[in-house]
Structure 1
Amino acid sequence: MRFLRFLIFGVCTLLIFAALNNRIGQIPPLGKFLNPFSGFWANNRYMDVLPPSVDVDELSRPVTILWDDRRVSHIFAENTEDLFFTQGYVTAMDRLWQMDFQSYAAAGRISEIVGEATLEFDRLRRRIGIPAAAKIAEREILHHPETRAAAEAYTSGVNAFIRTLRYKTLPLEYKIFDYWPEHWTVFKSALLLKSFSYTLSFRNPEAIQTRTREVLGDSLMNVLSPIYPPYMDPVVPAGTSWNFRRTNLQSTSEGRNGFPTSRLNFEHGDPPVEGSNNWAISGVRSKTGLPILASDPHLSLTLPSIWHEIQLVGPDLNVYGITSPGAAGVLFGFNQHVAWGMTNGGSDALDYYRITFRDEHRTEYKFDNSWLPVTMRIDTISVRGQKAIIDTVLLTHFGPVVFLPSDSLTDPQIPPGAALRWIAHDPSNEWLSFLRLNRARNLDEALRALEHFDSPVQNFALADDAGEIAIVHNGKLPIRLPGQGRFLSDGADPKTEWNGWIPRSHLPQVRNPKRGFVSSANQNPVDQSYPYYLGDGYATFDRGARINTLLENASGVQGEDMLRMQIDDASIYAQKIMPTILSMIPVEKLSDLERRCYEELMKWEYNYRADMIAPTLSETWMVEISDAIWLDEIDRPDGILARPRRDVTLHLILTQRSSPFYDNRSTPAAETLTDILLQSFKSACRKLEERHGAYGPRWRWGQARGTTLGHLARIPGMGRYKLETSGNFNTINAMSGSFGPSWRMVVELGSMPKALGIYPGGQSGNPGSREYDAFVDDWVEGRAYELLFLSSPDIQHSRLPFTTIMKGKP
């Protein structure tokens, strides 16, 4: 019996030991994780401590880091290699887990960390070709001496920090997921650059638009989904004369017979919310007589923040701004002479081609009356806790066939059996553009730097201290016939190939316009007179028109005025539509609740403020109106067609009081616009009461919508939730539930630039740090910080509380 008790005790001890030292499912090894000296408790003690000195082998000369009161590092180095080495080291100090995890995501390797739950995510990234594109980008980066030097020095700095890690100083997420950081490489940095191309350019509604045209025909398709939408105020002002002629190609077949698509479970509708604003005013509109530039990119909002703020000072460089952790240099920012900011260009960067395989073996496909060989790429996907998965991707000369009709893996944007042609697969070196922008001394040098930037297409707004401003719709764009790429193309027809590129000198651009400003908000870059077709997936008119209206009336402007403009929450869309639709509501048919809602909208001045109920009513009603007009048209038994955008709905209501679209095909009655508006208003009021309870504070916009900054890996409790934000996706302050201004920056050029800036997050990536989300509350309130642009490491300033000296070991 004594032996049996001893045996039971021993087995229990071994089980407890195993449980404490091994991962069980998604639970980390509790022995290590809960250790009071080296477990998660240690992340509160060690991660905020800044060292007074650091000794590393790789530095050739000492480097000084001045840390300001927001933990922004101002790095002073005597040579470029040491500068970028230190940037890599400091970025890893603050954000190692984030940059590492994002490189895993881009490479399609998340399943190595979390297991089979993310297998489809990984397969999609690999099939699209993000890792393959990053390999090509790595080759280009290493081929050019300028980018090679920066990338290798940065990489060396990251790895120098990784070598200092022990379990107690390991970032918290490594402990939660129970893994260690890999050696950093230039390839990982290239992955992050290609991940931006995916986020900003991998969208194309060809599949659903092809199906919509099959059902509705060309005429109706062009009415409901016009290439050039109503009310548009383009980036390059309408009526601009073009001093060049189009470079012509052979006519292109559009595959008029369409493409057999499976049932699609989404609607195209309004463009995705990833976007941005930027503008620059010339000295004729500013108080100082010199330009002011404003930039606020709108992206997915997470913690840690997508951006890391930094200043880099070297022999031929003094630049301040934000970068993506993993990339050397500054992506959005300014130096002593030039400021720049980007918005997503939105021009069509990819096409899908219908592939005709020779037989069921899919080893050959038809092209130009010949049969070309299919290349097969075999991918091995490691999955934590189980055997690796083997995945096969078919490659054509266009690009990968992402899905086959028999695949279990699907994506509503990607038609099965079609090959993907995407600009991001081509050789390019965007890093070179940013490094040269960082050093640009005037507008001419900045524009020349952009010649190396291919993907994703961006609207670069620029200003310099000589008084010049410009905006350029910049990137590598294929020459297309009007409408080419709106629908699936015939991959057997050589006329559908991309056979040339729009010359750089022909890209849409404006320099020093007479009106004294340039701007963009993801809208159409040009009007219909532009000689080339660029696409039709741009943002609606609202934000761009509001920006231009404010700038046209601006004078004596200062930086603070531009910041107030960035948080402007007035809706031009609501200003246009609300008076008309409210006037058509028969008030006598409203209940007490509905009348109260009606009165709230009648007194509304069309601002999307967090403390107002009217924005909640407006947005809910707009959705109900769109459903009432379009659902019976687009929801077909064999698939949903493309939903017309909001601007099309607006134009219909304002210009046609009578239309067959107002009649609901599913009812025997013949509905009118008045019927639609009344029914949808009643439905909106009812749904708000169901969602938020009785009319009251919970109906306020900030509570009903809210904005969430979720953790990057969706770990509960490590984000900020339901922030009561103002603004809406179609206001200048373009806020939504999980997207919004990821960085607000205003730069006044002069003998020494003055700048304001803020992003929703904090410099540290450690959830236990007070610097993790230190800026979020000020960001919600629309405040910003003075950015310290320093010129010497010897400066004394009340906002510079700490210094680190990095030295090479003797």
Structure 2
Amino acid sequence: MTLNPTRIGKAIGITAGALAALAGIGAITALRRPLPRTGGRIRLPGLRAAVEVRRDRWGIPHIYAEHNDDLFCALGYVHAQDRLWQMELHRRIGHGRLAEIVGPAALDSDRFIRTLGFSRLVQREVSLLDDETATLMTAYLRGVNACIDQTTHRLPLEFTILGIQPQPWELTDLLVWPKMMALTLSSNWMQELLQAQIVALVGVERAIALRPRYPEDGPLTVPADAHYTPDLGAAALQLASDAALFTGENETPQGSNAWVVSGQRTTSGRPLLANDPHLNLSLPNLWYQVHLEGGDFHVAGATIPATCGVIIGHNRRIAWGLTNARTDNQDLFIEQFDAADPLRYRWRDEWLTAEVVRETIHVKGQTEPTVIDVRITHHGPIIDPVAGALRGEPTTTDTTTQALALRWTALDPSPTLTRAVFRLNRAQNWDEFRAALQDWDVPPQNVVYADIDGHIGYCLAGRLPIRRQSDGSLPVPGWSGEYEWAGYIPFVELPSQLDPPAGALVTANHRIIDERYPTSAPIRGLWLNPYRAQRIQALLDEHKQHDVRSFARIQGDVVSLPGKALVEQVARLQLEPGMEQRVRDLFVTWDGHLHPESVGGAIYEGLRYHLLRIVYQEISDLFQAPAALGSFSVLPANIYLECALPTVLARMASQPLDQPDAWLGQGRSWGGVLRAALGRTVAELTERLGDDPNRWQYGRLHTLTLRHPLGSVPALTPLFNRGPWPIGGDLDTVNHCYLPRDNAGMKITNGVSVRFIFDLNDWDNSRAILPGGQSGHPASPHYADMIAAWRAGAYHPLLWSRPAVERHSTQVLTLLAD
């Protein structure tokens, strides 16, 4: 997850006076003064022996140490050297302490996070850490704090602009950001509320018919004793929406691609593995590349500053990559509270007392702190009081009120994720790889695997609930006891596969298994469309053998499979001579490539947008109603609609265009729907791009700007932001870039956050690239030096061997023991 920074600079309230103060100390001096020392010798307290840090020409540190604790102390040090401001921002978001530096604009963010209780949770988790994990994390903290102590008077520019000083880091600070990652990658609760509102608006049967689903999905299960209205959860959605400016939780399609082929499918005879996570993009990038060698660690790949260990990468023997599983590990329980005592809630035939936690939020510019009381039932924190009586039979009486509690696996104290990463970094084979993933709890991930012995595999990792009733798609009664979780699906039952006969495995956020897979409970989730996975598999099948270059071409592919399917349907459409026919004739010649220069791509983008909204027009009020969904109301609906596309295209292809389809309702036909969508698209593109369709280009509509949290301040925009550029791809292309139209005031840029290709025949032949650079300092040559290569589909080598590292080293820093 990355912070969405569109308006944060203005929210912080940077004044002309603050900018004048920056100018007063000299802009060049202010920019260059924080740049870290990357050569020579520096004493680092707590080291047992000297550590060597070699930075290559791309700014990637290669850290060589004798001992494990020294290795991670140095990692903390270099993270802080390059990304201290990002680390500070992330820990403040995770602890709900952003308003201390931002002011009232961040209060809702802090209220939301304090309600979830991440800070309370990680304080409990510290005591649960095993000895080795605690030792290595403590070593990392020594490195971070040593860097802060050494740079007190030359902190990153953002600290100077805001006038703040970082406090020493603690173990809780390292545990809190993984909770934020889990939050952004596990947002099923918003979809539960949206689905409940649809049920309330159109009824159960129609909601079942409209629901986006894979063809083999089962029906929507509605609890018999629950009733829904469109305002169910309105306050929770409003709170989450207001917080999303800072938390980044905006129900975007957080996904990824990963695939692996065995040696029988490569030119070298050994496996190749590719991975590209899709996240919200900003500057600095979420990921930080590193190479660690020391003690019993030798690993390279992507880390996240303020966390320990390599999350995606390889060691001497194995490589691994991740995609978001999008499995459902959240449920909303409707609690009944005693109207006379808001702490008493009903549980079966008795009344229990909710726990109350008082949270004090200090707000910049306010003389008094804001105090909130968080109620917590045995299901979890209360995130929303139900507004009014539910439609159907009343569920709010003179004696009871209702509120929503969030049950979520991430709110169970469990600090094992970091241990899983440490074990994964040192795993030497399939058995050790799977043993490491037993500790991976949240967020659930698909993990692909390869080793130098030629094996490839897949494993689902994460803690998933066993539900006694319901399918997790709707809020359920919390008082009956009938919908409680009955434990978790055992790790040994989660889907996995070693050495498939086809010699290839692909995961791209599509459905993992069907209902026939033998587990203790069905594995539920909101899967993304299968198009990326289908395209990757097709490209793999085009060639008998692959190499790094063919994998790079796959990662750069922008062919839209649903776009080609829509071309087939539009070709069936009969039109009168005129502008719409002219545009249709242009569109049906499109080859499906969503590159920036594509005329057909521009038409497809409009057709897709309008087609989905016309088809689902009977529930359009829910997509835009701010009273129900808050200031970011359309975002849960965006994903709902995007995931409906396969259903819409399949149904359209199976029906005569000019005959009414009862599924559409209101006597509508697919031909009529298509004509309406085309008409809106033509009118829109004519207004935006002119009346010559041959000059319409996708890249004129689809542009990328990489934004820094302070880059929305006009005077700081050229310093911190980069772009805009025309960019290809969309939600369903392998080279993914999702820029939804309906942002409700917050610009979403969801794209490829890093690309990896791991060559298990020659680790030095592995490749990587990210949209940005290693450094968070805007004056650094490594702030944005990878963007051009990333846009062009190029890479840098992921150096591994000592000779290769030495050939490309540009600075060498020796960290000395006291």
Q: Establish whether residue 437 from structure 1 lines up as the match of residue 424 from structure 2.
A: yes
Q: Is the 8 A contact 2:34 2:157 kept in 1?
A: no
| 1:540 aligns to 2:529 (yes or no) | yes
| Structure 1 residue 671: Cα displacement | 4.1
Match of 2:280 in 1: 300
In structure 1, distance between residues paired with 2:498 and 2:664? 49
Q: How big is the shift at 1:261?
A: 4.6
Distance, in Å, in 2 between the alignment partners of 1:639 and 1:43 is: 45
Deviations 1:765-787 (A, max 9, x none): 01122211110111111111111
Match of 2:672, SS state, is helix
Distance (Å, rounded) in 2 between the aligned partners of 1:465 and 1:730:
32
SS at the partner of 1:495?
Answer: coil
In the alignment, the residues of structure 2 paired with residue 212 and residue 192 of structure 1 have an alpha-carbon distance, to the nearest angstrom, of 33
Structure 1 equivalent of residue 811 of structure 2: 802
Which of the residues 148, 152, 160 maps onto 2:134? 148
In the TM superposition, what whole-angstrom CA distance separates every residue of 1:500-557 from its partner, at most 9, and x where no partner exists? 2111111011211101111111111102312432224110111111112222333221
Counterpart-to-counterpart distance in 1, 2:261 and 2:163 = 51
Match of 1:400 among 365, 381, 392: 381
C-alpha change, 1:576 and 1:361, in structure 2 (3 Å) is same
Whole-Å Cα distance in 1 between the matches of residues 619 and 100 of structure 2? Answer: 45
Residue 617 of structure 2 corresponds to 631
The one-character-per-residue Cα deviations of 1:28-58 (angstroms, maximum 9, x if unpaired) are 6467523446x66332255165231111222
Structure 1 unaligned residues grouped into runs of 5+: 1-22, 233-251, 408-414
Q: What is the root-mean-square deviation in Å for CA atoms of aligned residues?
A: 2.7
1:170 to 155, 158, 161: 155
- Residue pair 1:255, 1:490 contacting (<8 A) in 2 also: no
User: Quick check: 1:89–1:158 contact (8 Å CA) kept in 2?
Assistant: yes
SS in 1 for 2:482: helix
CA shift at 1:285, angstroms?
0.6
Q: Deviations over 1:72-104 (max 9, x none)?
A: 100000101110000000110000000111110
What is aligned with 1:495? 482
Alpha-carbon deviations, 1:589-645, whole Å to 9, x = none?
432xx3442232122100110111211110111111112221135537997997571
Letter in 2 for 1:308: Y
Report deviation, 1:229.
1.0
Candidates 200, 206, 210, aligned match of 1:220: 206
DSSP 3-state at the match of 2:112: helix
Task: Read off the aligned partner of 2:812 and give its amino acid letter.
Answer: T
- Tell me the equivalent position of 1:684: 681
* 2:594–2:601 Cα contact (<8 Å) kept: yes
Aligned to 1:180: 165
1:711 matches 2:708: yes
Structure 1 residues 157 and 661: CA distance shift in structure 2, 3 A: farther
The answer to whether 1:742 aligns with 2:728 is: no
Q: Name which of 771, 775, 778 aligns with 2:782.
A: 771
Cα-to-partner distance string for 1:731-753 (whole Å, 9 max, x where unaligned)? 11111231111010000113646
> Following TM superposition, by how much is the alpha carbon of 1:446 offset from its aligned partner in structure 2, in angstroms?
1.0
* CA contact 2:226–2:476 (8 Å) conserved in 1: no
Residues 55-64 or 459-468, more deviating: 55-64
Matched, 1:82 2:70: yes
SS at match of 2:706: strand
Q: Return the alpha-carbon distance in structure 2 between the equivalents of residues 264 and 495 of structure 1.
A: 21
**Greater shift in the superposed pair: 115-124 or 547-556:** 547-556
- Partner SS state of residue 151, structure 1: helix
Superposition deviation, residue 694 in structure 1: 4.1
The answer on whether the counterparts of 2:531 and 2:732 sit within 8 Å (CA) in structure 1 is yes
For the 8 Å contact 2:56–2:808, the answer to whether it is kept is yes
SS of 2:332 mapped into structure 1: strand
Equivalent residue number for residue 161 of structure 1? 147
Residues 378-387 or 253-262, more deviating: 253-262
SS in structure 2 at match of 1:366: strand
Q: What secondary structure does 2:551 align onto? A: helix
Of 248, 257, 281, the match for 2:226: 257
The answer to whether the 8 A contact 1:481-1:533 is kept is no
Q: CA–CA distance in 1 between the matches of 2:369 and 2:690?
A: 49
Matching residue's letter, 1:578 = V
SS at match of 1:500: strand
- TM-score norm. by structure 1 comes to 0.87
Would the aligned equivalents of 1:174 and 1:180 in 2 still touch at CA under 8 Å?
A: yes
> Distance in 2 between the 1:253 and 1:368 partners?
20
Find out whether 1:456 has 2:443 as its counterpart. Answer: yes
Distance in 2, Cα, partners of 1:438 & 1:98 = 24
Match of 2:493 among 495, 501, 506: 506
2:444–2:462: 8 Å Cα contact kept in structure 1?
Answer: yes
AA aligned to 2:462 is G
SS at match of 1:121: helix
Deviations 1:458-491 (A, max 9, x none): 0001111111111112111111367521111110
Amino acid at match of 1:750: N
> Could you tell me which residue of structure 1 aligns to residue 800 of structure 2?
789
2:54–2:812 contact (8 Å) kept in structure 1: yes
Partner of 2:506: 519
The 1:279–1:482 alpha-carbon spacing in structure 2 relative to 1, beyond 3 Å, is farther
Letter in 2 for 1:572: L
Retained in 2: the 8 A contact 1:253–1:493? no
Contact residue 112 and residue 382 of structure 1 kept, 8 A: yes
**Cα deviation, residue 171, structure 1:** 0.3
Q: Distance in 2 between matches of 1:555 and 1:139?
A: 52
Is residue 468–residue 485 contact of structure 2 (8 Å, CA) maintained in 1?
no
For 1:130 and 1:380, how far apart are their aligned partners in 2? 14
Structure 1 residue 447: Cα displacement:
1.2
State how many pairs are aligned: 746
**Aligned: 1:192 with 2:177:** yes
Change (3 A) 1:273 1:427: same
Deviates most, 703-712 or 107-116? 703-712
- Alignment match of 1:446 (pick from 419, 430, 433): 433
What's the CA shift string for 1:426-458, capped at 9, x where partnerless?
Answer: 122100111111111112211110010011100
1:714 Cα deviation from its structure 2 partner = 4.8
Letter in 2 for 1:772: Y
SS of residue in 1 equivalent to 2:567: helix
Structure 1 residue 697, shift from structure 2 partner:
8.4
The corresponding residue for 1:16 is: none
The 1-side partners of 2:47 and 2:37 are apart by 22
Identity over aligned residues, as a percent? 28
Matches for 1:88-487 after TM superposition, within 5 Å: 88-140=76-128, 143-167=129-153, 169-204=154-189, 205-225=191-211, 228-230=213-215, 254-262=223-231, 272-386=252-366, 387-405=368-386, 417-428=403-414, 429-480=416-467, 483-487=470-474
The Cα of 1:385 is off from its aligned counterpart by 1.1
1:616 to 602, 606, 610: 602
Change (3 A) 1:758 1:358: same
Q: What is the TM-score of this pair, normalised by structure 2?
A: 0.86
- 1:452 and 1:264 mapped to 2: Cα distance? 33
Q: Kindly tell me: are residues 159 and 49 of structure 1, through their superposed partners in 2, closer, same or farther at Cα, counting changes over 3 Å?
A: closer
- Structure 2 counterpart of 1:60: 48
- 1:577 equivalent to 2:566? Answer yes
Choose 677-686 or 543-552, whichever is displaced more: 543-552
Could you tell me which amino acid in structure 1 is paired with residue 683 of structure 2?
R
Instruction: Tell which deviates more after alignment, 461-470 or 535-544.
Output: 535-544
CA shift in 2, pair 1:313/1:452, >3 Å = same
Q: 1:202 to 1:714 in 2, by over 3 A?
A: farther
* Structure 1 range deviating more: 651-660 or 436-445: 651-660
Using the alignment, how far apart are the partners of 1:92 and 1:708 within structure 2?
Answer: 26
